[in-house]
């Protein structure tokens, strides 16, 4: 295990998670590295295995936002840097996927879109509110295929399936499915090349 006080590039490792520190319903493979003091700050998963990470994956500064009924699956040999993964329902990521810094993957809007419902939601989650009175929000599973690279500051939104071998350019906002082996760019992301 690395020395926690040793500098690693331009920043210090603020925390490297040990197996005995992980929530009981987190399953990780061999040689997995998870760093970042806030990795589990928004982890509320209550399923028997709310989070599964495959062998040899590196989760550097990743935040796992999993709702009580959410499920997050990450394959083997993945490398994520400072990504935010939000699973209200289900996010599934294949093997050998790379997520650049500040990438967000979300399977839900997390707040209602309609103004009246949005206000009720804000009241329910306020310090004096009752979260049990939150209006329902829309969520749809996200699937990211194996061997996909997603650049820094990209966003992948609810209901999207990205096929294997894709390349998502930095800053892209993916709102529609992407066929296998395509390069996408823009907001909303559009196919610009076949790989």
pLDDT, one tens digit per residue, over 105-123 is: 999 988 888 899 989 988 9
- Residue spans of the domains in the chain: they are 14-194
**For the residues 86-109, what does the mean pLDDT come to?**
97
Above 80 in pLDDT, residue 9?
no
Above 80 in pLDDT, residue 1?
no
pLDDT for residue 146: 98
Above 50 in pLDDT, residue 84?
yes
Higher pLDDT, 3 or 136: 136
Higher pLDDT, 102 or 5: 102
Is the full-model pTM beyond 0.85?
A: yes
Query: Distance between CA 120 and CA 122 in Å, rounded?
Result: 5
List C-alpha distances in Å: 161 to 85, 93, 131, 140: 15, 10, 30, 10
Query: Distance between CA 31 and CA 1 in Å, rounded?
Result: 10
Helix (H, G, I), strand (E, B) or coil at 60: strand
pLDDT for residue 182: 98
CB 145 within 8 A of CB 165: yes
CATH number of the domain located at residue range(s) 14-194 in this protein: 2.160.10.10
Helix (H, G, I), strand (E, B) or coil at 120: helix
pLDDT for residue 14: 63
* Long-range own/partner contacts, residues 14-17 (CB < 8 A, 24 or more apart): 15/39
pLDDT for residue 129: 86
pLDDT for residue 19: 85
pLDDT for residue 137: 84
pLDDT 10s digits, 32-73: 999 999 999 999 999 999 999 999 999 999 999 999 999 999
pLDDT for residue 29: 95
- Give the residues across from 188 on adjacent strands: none
pLDDT 10s digits, 122-161: 898 888 888 788 888 889 999 999 999 999 999 999 999 9
Residue 164: band (very low, low, confident or very high) from pLDDT cuts 50, 70, 90: very high
Structure-block tokens of residue 71: 């499920």
């Amino acid at each position: 295990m690395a020395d926690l006080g040793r500098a690693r590039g331009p920043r210090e490792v603020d925390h490297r998670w040990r197996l005995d520190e992980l929530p009981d319903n987190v399953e990780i493979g061999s040689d997995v590295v998870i760093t970042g003091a806030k990795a589990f700050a928004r982890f509320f998963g209550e399923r028997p295995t709310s989070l599964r990470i495959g062998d040899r994956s590196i989760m550097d500064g990743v935040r796992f936002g999993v709702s009580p009924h959410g499920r997050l699956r990450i394959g083997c040999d993945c490398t994520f840097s400072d990504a935010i993964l939000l699973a209200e329902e289900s996010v599934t990521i294949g093997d050998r996927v790379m997520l650049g810094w500040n990438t967000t993957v979300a399977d839900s809007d997390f707040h209602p879109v309609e103004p009246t419902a949005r206000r009720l939601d804000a009241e329910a989650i306020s310090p004096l509110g009752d979260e049990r009175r939150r209006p329902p929000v829309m969520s749809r599973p996200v699937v990211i295929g194996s061997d996909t690279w997603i650049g820094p500051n990209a966003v992948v939104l609810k209901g999207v399936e990205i096929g294997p071998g894709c390349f998502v350019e930095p800053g892209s906002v993916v709102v529609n499915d992407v066929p296998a082996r395509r390069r996408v760019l823009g907001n909303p992301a559009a196919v610009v090349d076949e790989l």
